């Protein structure tokens, strides 16, 4: 499997008349506006991606951020609104057929036929890609092994658990050995164990040389899986980098304080924002988030200041910077709280 993918990658480095291909995906100011009944919806405003071959890249953002719309444009399922995109070295607008033969796409809803077995689904998919019957059967078997589906491979898909279905969806997406695989929300709705298992499989595909783009609204998924993350909000990239680098930029510790009313929080923000131990303060209604270098030192100093000003907070917690902090810093809103209670 890995060998076959590698040979595709080698082919991918040939000159296709557009110059030698270096990146798996390049987009510039990709945008899409839908004309809905209630007016125009700017689903994607400006997405510029540079995805290296063989990397696992995450598009992380809240519901409605434009992740699926971006993926649908990159996979030729939706015409590009504005901007440009190359996938696997081919222009998405001008060479959609070439793009399609080099990519795999696993939609948010999956694509298996419930009444068929995994083996039948895989065989059918392979035949749809024009793979000869003998080879289709052997590819189906090798994917059944690779994605650990052998126990249920000959049972109807409707009897599968969520995690088993998702692994089959991925197998269906890679039966033709694509260079680039797009996974839309791969682990939504799965229990923690099935998610971890799915991530292992995705990682091993990445290790085999496949370029993988994952959309997710799970911070932990982006963190655990991706070499590189684009944080997307309202159709735009608000931050980009390796998860560790993005978190490092936030630095130190986040102290999250809450008051009963917004005026109290705002007064406290004014009081603390200029303190020497505060790197950055983000106020959101009754919540104040302070980024500090040394959590415990800063904590005692800020508690003292608040007490003196009669502005004691009703709750307080410390958290290590997460990708949510990166999102919060750039948008002023939270993707999801992931904090460790200290009191």
Ligand X SMILES: Nc1ncnc2c1ncn2[C@@H]1O[C@H](COP(=O)(O)OP(=O)(O)OP(=O)(O)O)[C@@H](O)[C@H]1O
Nearest to 227 by CA among 74, 22, 51: 51
Taking the complex as a whole, the smallest distance from the CB of residue 100 to Mg ion amounts, in Å, to: 20
Identify which range of 14-22, 59-67, 171-179, 223-231 contacts ligand X by CB under 6 A: 59-67
DSSP-derived 3-state class of residue 192? helix
With CB under 6 A as the contact rule, the residue among 15, 63, 193, 308 that binds ligand X is 63
Identify which range of 35-43, 92-100, 118-126, 269-277 contacts ligand X by CB under 6 A: 35-43
Taking the complex as a whole, the smallest distance from the CB of residue 131 to ligand X amounts, in Å, to: 31
C-alpha to C-alpha distance for 335 and 322, rounded to whole angstroms: 10
Instruction: Report how far apart, in Å, the C-alpha atoms of 97 and of each of 113, 158, 313 are.
Output: 24, 32, 59
C-alpha to C-alpha distance for 311 and 316, rounded to whole angstroms: 13
Contacts of 199 (CB under 8 A, 6+ apart): 187, 221, 224, 225
Q: For residues 34 and 129, which CB has a smaller minimum distance to ligand X in the complex?
A: 34
- Does 110 interact with ligand X (rule: CB under 6 A)? no
Taking the complex as a whole, the smallest distance from the CB of residue 111 to Mg ion amounts, in Å, to: 15
Taking the complex as a whole, the smallest distance from the CB of residue 336 to Mg ion amounts, in Å, to: 16
Q: For residues 12 and 186, which CB has a smaller minimum distance to Mg ion in the complex?
A: 186
C-alpha to C-alpha distance for 89 and 94, rounded to whole angstroms: 12
Asked if 317 contacts 341 with a C-beta cutoff of 8 angstroms, the reply is: yes
With CB under 6 A as the contact rule, the residue among 119, 176, 217, 329 that binds ligand X is 217
- Does 164 interact with ligand X (rule: CB under 6 A)? no
- Does 69 interact with ligand X (rule: CB under 6 A)? yes
Asked if 119 contacts 143 with a C-beta cutoff of 8 angstroms, the reply is: no
In terms of residues, how long is the chain?
343
Nearest to 320 by CA among 264, 236, 255: 255
- Does 264 interact with Mg ion (rule: CB under 5 A)? no
Half-sphere exposure of 333 (CA within 13 A, CB side): 9
Taking the complex as a whole, the smallest distance from the CB of residue 130 to ligand X amounts, in Å, to: 31
Q: For residues 209 and 235, which CB has a smaller minimum distance to ligand X in the complex?
A: 235
Q: What is the CA radius of gyration of the chain?
A: 23
Q: Which two tokens stand for residue 269?
A: 């923000």
* Residues 66-95 within binding reach of Mg ion (CB under 5 A): 67-68
- Does 61 interact with ligand X (rule: CB under 6 A)? yes
Identify which range of 38-46, 64-72, 310-318, 319-327 contacts Mg ion by CB under 5 A: 64-72
- Does 236 interact with ligand X (rule: CB under 6 A)? no
Query: In the complex, which residues of this chain contact Mg ion (CB under 5 A)?
Result: 67-68
Which residues sit at the interface with ligand X, rule CB under 6 A? 34, 36, 41, 43, 61, 63-69, 217
């Amino acid at each position: 499997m890995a060998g076959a993918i590698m040979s595709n990658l080698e082919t991918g480095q040939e000159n296709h008349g557009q110059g030698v291909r270096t990146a798996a995906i390049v987009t510039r100011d990709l945008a899409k506006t839908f004309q809905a009944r209630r007016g125009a919806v700017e689903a994607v405003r400006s997405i510029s991606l540079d995805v290296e071959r063989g990397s696992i890249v995450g598009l992380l953002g809240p519901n409605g951020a434009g992740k699926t719309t971006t993926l649908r444009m990159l996979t030729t399922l939706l015409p590009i609104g504005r901007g440009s995109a190359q996938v696997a070295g081919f222009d998405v607008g001008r060479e959609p057929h070439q793009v399609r033969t080099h990519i795999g796409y696993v939609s948010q809803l999956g694509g298996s036929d419930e009444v068929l077995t995994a083996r039948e689904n895989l065989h059918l998919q392979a035949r749809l890609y024009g793979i000869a019957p003998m080879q289709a059967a052997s590819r189906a078997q090798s994917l059944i092994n690779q994605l650990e589906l052998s126990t249920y491979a000959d049972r109807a898909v409707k009897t599968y658990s969520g995690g088993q279905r998702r692994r089959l969806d991925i197998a269906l997406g890679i039966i033709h050995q694509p260079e680039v695989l797009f996974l839309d929300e791969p682990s939504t709705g799965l229990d923690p164990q099935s998610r971890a298992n799915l991530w292992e499989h995705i990682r091993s595909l990445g290790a085999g040389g496949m370029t993988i783009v994952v959309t997710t609204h799970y911070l932990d998924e982006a963190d655990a899986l991706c070499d590189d993350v684009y944080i997307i909000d309202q159709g735009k990239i608000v931050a980009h980098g390796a998860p560790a680098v993005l978190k490092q930029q936030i630095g130190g510790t986040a102290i999250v304080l809450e008051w009963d009313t917004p005026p109290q929080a705002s007064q406290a923000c004014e009081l603390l924002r200029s303190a020497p131990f505060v790197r950055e303060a983000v106020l959101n209604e009754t919540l104040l988030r302070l980024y500090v270098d040394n959590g415990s030192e800063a904590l005692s100093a800020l508690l003292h200041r608040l007490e003196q000003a009669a502005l004691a907070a009703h709750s307080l917690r410390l958290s290590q910077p997460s990708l949510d902090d990166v999102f919060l810093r750039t948008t002023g809103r939270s993707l999801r709280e992931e904090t460790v209670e200290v009191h």
